[in-house]
Structure 1
């Protein structure tokens, strides 16, 4: 149960980061926004695989 909650919170923080960066910096720039969003998701995925995945 604790692992599920931590994953849900992790995904919520990732979504908040993506939306926050979109709203603050890249409102009218589609391609820049897309590239930054992909980068943010890749960074979060790397951290997930490094720290949350069971050995």
Structure 2
């Protein structure tokens, strides 16, 4: 159950970061927004796979 909680928290943190970056910095720039969102998802996925999936 602890792994599931960590995964949910990781997804929630990722959503908060994506929405925050979109609204604060990239409001009217479609391609930069798409690239930044993809990079954020990759970083969060790597952190999850490297550190949080043990167990």
TM-score after normalising by structure 2: 0.92
Q: List gaps (5 residues or longer) in structure 2.
A: none
Aligned to 2:41: 41
RMSD: 1.1
Q: How many residues align?
A: 55
SS at match of 1:27: coil
1:8-36, CA deviations, whole angstroms, 9 ceiling, x for partnerless residues? 01100000000000000000000000000
Distance in structure 2 (CA, Å) of the matches to 1:4 and 1:18:
21
TM-score after normalising by structure 1: 0.92
Distance in structure 2 (CA, Å) of the matches to 1:28 and 1:6:
33
Higher relative contact order (CA 8 A, sep 6+): 2
Q: List gaps (5 residues or longer) in structure 1.
A: none
